[in-house]
Amino acid sequence: MKYVFLFLACFAILPAKSQSAQVNRHRFNFGVAAGAGYLIQQIPGETAPRKKIEPSFPNIQLGWMVSPKLSVTVLLPGTLYKNTWNGRPRDRGFEGIVPSVQYWVTDKWWIGGGVGVGLDAPAFYDIKNEDERVFHFGYSGVLTSGYEFWQSGRFTMDARFRMHYNNVPVPGGRQSGLSANALLGVSWW
């Protein structure tokens, strides 16, 4: 029981600390996030779209602050899903490599978006042989927003919402999808 109180006390202290902390946003930045999302996919050969809640990771962000409120970034969004290719069910990634911009509307709230390369890729941990190492490339778009609920020096924690669209050619046609994700993230500046 004392661990529950300790855990709650930590979260009670974090917002109080973040009120007085100044974030040192400059130069290079790196962020990661994980969460879950509602994925809607139109798979070639299937009449109805698939709709399912799926885990969303890895979500990586690399960027450079070009002004005190603007960062040019490369987003690597990812949502996992299951598909049957090569004769067995397997995990695949609904992913992208997306150049984007991120703008701080206030000291804690930011918005962003970009367009780039969409990927349908095998999950690295689910590859059993070389025939399964097949990647499909198309186009992708991302709209995102976040609120930094904890800030300290060169470190922030935030809650993010992201919409990610992919359209990639796969065997049998084009696969398109839209993922709406709720994420928790950390960033270093």
> For residue 101, what pLDDT is reported?
98
3-state secondary structure of 134: coil
Distance CA 30, CA 189 (A): 7
> For residue 21, what pLDDT is reported?
59
The alpha carbons of the chain give a radius of gyration, in whole angstroms, of 19
Query: CA of 23: how far to CAs of 92, 156, 171, in Å?
Result: 37, 8, 47
> For residue 85, what pLDDT is reported?
66
> For residue 159, what pLDDT is reported?
98
pTM of the model: 0.82
Residue pLDDT tens, the chain, 189 long:
343 334 334 444 444 444 445 677 878 999 999 999 999 999 888 889 999 999 998 899 999 999 999 999 999 999 999 887 667 788 889 999 999 999 999 999 999 999 999 999 888 888 888 877 889 999 999 999 999 999 988 899 999 999 999 999 988 899 999 999 999 999 998
Domains and CATH numbers, the chain: 23-188 (2.40.160.20)
Distance CA 1, CA 130 (A): 50
> For residue 64, what pLDDT is reported?
96
Q: What is the dihedral of CA 113, 116, 120, 124, to 10 degrees?
A: -80
